Structure 1
């Protein structure tokens, strides 16, 4: 893995992981604001890892959820979120993408750097089932140009998330 951080520095994500005693690696890279790649695909290319192990964090509005009605979806960067599958995974009928401003307010992170870990407001979290097959996955570390690597089971533990098939690719055969 990369360098292990301590709770005394870093982003809210690295602090949360260190406080939970979870082993993780830190992977800074030079974010190019002019890149035409999505943030996740840019991270995969910059870190020299397959896109299948780099996961994006999306915030969705799910009808029927209490509070703000927001939830977190974590899925491979090259895949597309199946909003209906996300809603079903949370026991609801309909989901839409959250407004970016609402996602930033809720998470405390900027778009393109939203980490699923250490968010300002804890939200229901669903991790795409493909993550379970990996020994290590990468997620945003809480800012553009900074990823964290960790075991999928550790991500589920720290986010109180669960694994479900939530990508269009996985749900084509339904």
Structure 2
């Protein structure tokens, strides 16, 4: 036996997030620091050193997943709004347990969730809505996306999204 610390595979934030997401995808309550550490073959303290608490892990996972949702696209605001919502729904549908875990996590929105929320509100303002109506429609669209995800609807969400966007267009049209 040699003196010093035992040698283990290099633990990285990316490796932790990859394994945590795989574990979370099997069930929302399955993801614990202890279970993650066991899966990574390290101590729970090693995971906490890189990530912190379970809540910090959930926020980091949300940032890791949501960073792939593009908010800067080409085209008119209605087309960009539809593209943003479709991509957001596809992304959160791939990991519904992340949405559930995020709902149970105290604190502010993760950075990437806030980026998407802000982009959505900007697109609604570009539709000609007042600030109050833009916030209302932002919340309606986000709630719809989460509802579609958590219901795990097997149907194509496009018709429901189109109906919402048509209602939005009616609200933003000049009188």
Range of TM-score over shorter length: under 0.3
TM-score, length basis structure 2: 0.25
Largest Rg, 1 or 2: 2
Structure with higher helix content? 2
RCO higher in structure (CA 8 A, sep ≥6)? 1
TM-score, length basis structure 1: 0.25
